[in-house]
Structure 1
Amino acid sequence: MIHRVKTPLVVSMAVAVTAVSAFCSAAEPQKLVWPKRLSPGDTLMLIAPAGPVERDQVMRFKDHIEQRGYKVKLRDDMFDVEGYLAGSDQRRAEEFNEAFADPEVDGVLAVRGGYGCMRMMPLVDWEGVRKSPKLLLGFSDITALHAGMNKAGVVSFHGPGPASGLGSKEGPTDFTAKYVVRAVEASPAGPYVVEVPESVSKVESFGKGKATGRLVGGNLSLISALEGTPYAIDTKDAILMIEDVNEAPYRIDRMVQQLKLAGKLDHLKGVVLGKFTEDFVREDKLTDDKRFDTTGVLRQYFENLGVPVLVNYPIGHFPQNCTVPLGGEVEVDADAKTLRILAP
């Protein structure tokens, strides 16, 4: 257990924001560095950069990791609660920076999304991330940190945490477990095709042929919120991946339209549409017209885009959650309905 170090924040928010702006002013590199992948015996640090976390889930997650042969670090203030956040912005940023600065830590696992990552991003030492690239795993609100990692020139891993099976009593599904291990562990190395049986998800496609490019994106709400900031994703010649949860179709429409108006759909090589739950809770359905349900809205934007598109892919807020490398090269095949990870 790492004990909290009560150090004053010596850099003001204004200075931090200036440093971030300078860091992010350069274009995102086309070829990103793959961090060292993991092997049993390595040390992993658990972090809570967004919403409050449940102690029982985290400790089960820790036990599962240790049973696989890893050593685990976590701070004793991980379970702090400040409103809808896992402690203050300063606490969460300090935890993130500590994980990347600690020479004993080989990988960093975010234990929950929710909300909060964008609030702490001005306080993150992105130069430290660039100089000491490490594997980061998480999804949902962690999309914001993945965008920062990619901006720092480092491939980052969109995948599950304790709240999505890895910390449950039942454990993750076989599919989720297989592909988180395949993505983040060092052996076996090299490219691989993700095999998706229909029992996991019935993958469909728009368009034809294959496309290769950097995989970018993550949670649609976060991607759209990052537009206009130094962390906005670079989609030129990329494969865009998006997913979301509990969003009404018109909200999905508005967020994708924002990306379109920003030119983020203009120069894509391909698209992976992950899971979009239709059990949204914030508004009632505004229409029964199938063209404007979730599937219909996505079809409007992506069916005639002229690039290969995978649809209903098992990524996101779904028990079957495939881990993928944001910033890493992938191949989308619309004819075979497959995703190939071009891992080194």
Structure 2
Amino acid sequence: MNLEQRIRAFADLGQFFQQYLNEQAKDEPQFNEWHKNLHTAIQKSKAANAWFTTENIIFALNSWAEVLTVKQLEQWLKSYSINKVKPKRVAIIMAGNIPLVGFHDFLSVLICGHSVLVKQSSNDQYILPVIADVLTSFNSEFQENIDITSEKLTNFDAVIATGSNNTARYFEYYFRDKPSIIRKNRNSVAVLTGNETAEELELLSEDIFRYFGLGCRNVSKLFISENYNFDPFFNAVFKWNGIINHHKYANNYDYNKAVYLMSEFNILDNGFFMLKEDSNYASPISVAFYEYYNNLEELQLKLTSEGDQIQCVVSGASAGIGIAFGSTQQPKLWDYADNVDSVDFLLKI
């Protein structure tokens, strides 16, 4: 199977996602066999993991449907010499914090011509096997190149592993003799000047609340100018007030609010979301931290020096730092996690 055939198969997968989404949106969907399998997997995922709501799973599938096109796949890969690859077997240890969070690694390994050995998270174990079957239906040669296992990982040449800072230390030791990409905890930040438009702040709310804030690309920390007026921000995020009706989110909100109040911390609270002044990057669910800055030049130096803790930096036109509001959960194929080029890694193993 050459690169062109692999690109075609993944582009067909993108069309498959779009066809499912189009049918799923109907009042009385008429699913074909493969779409039924995906729909069943989605229902199982929702039942097994309350954070995986229909809305968030659909959002993830739609994001992949938009980028899995021949045009975007070719644009992504045009600067690499992929046809010169000697096939290897690459193990992927996937996280399970948001739906299909490990799919980019899965795609990267296969598009490079390697075989993949996947260890899924127990929090997200139903959808990828269906996707693998669909991909194999497009090109049967994928069948011998995809292995999804719940057993101990054996017989592999390299590894891509994602986990917490604690598990990363274990991964680094356990896979010390293998070429590897080991990912740790990261968080995303927003830079606010006070001159943002209402539309920009509404886009920022997507970066904060999508997937309940569980992703490394979710904004968990705000850097704000002195004398910042929070009213426009709270007005813009209020459209997410229905999130408090999700029981797990509500439990986290109630718990964190109680802890902060008992500890006599000063918080800003709108009934479903809290802001707390804090120098840390990783905030609890239902909370974003904030920190004041003096000028943008100093802030840029700070963000650069602490870049190993940051996944994305977002801002509006008035700050011009990082990427645009509303774009964190819709990365391009070439927006690599932790800024580590996984395709370049896969071509060199």
Q: What is the TM-score when the length of structure 1 is the normalising length? A: 0.28
Higher Cα Rg, which structure: 2
Q: Which structure ranks higher in relative contact order (CA pairs < 8 Å, sequence separation ≥ 6)?
A: 1
Q: TM-score, normalised by structure 2?
A: 0.28
Higher helix share: 2
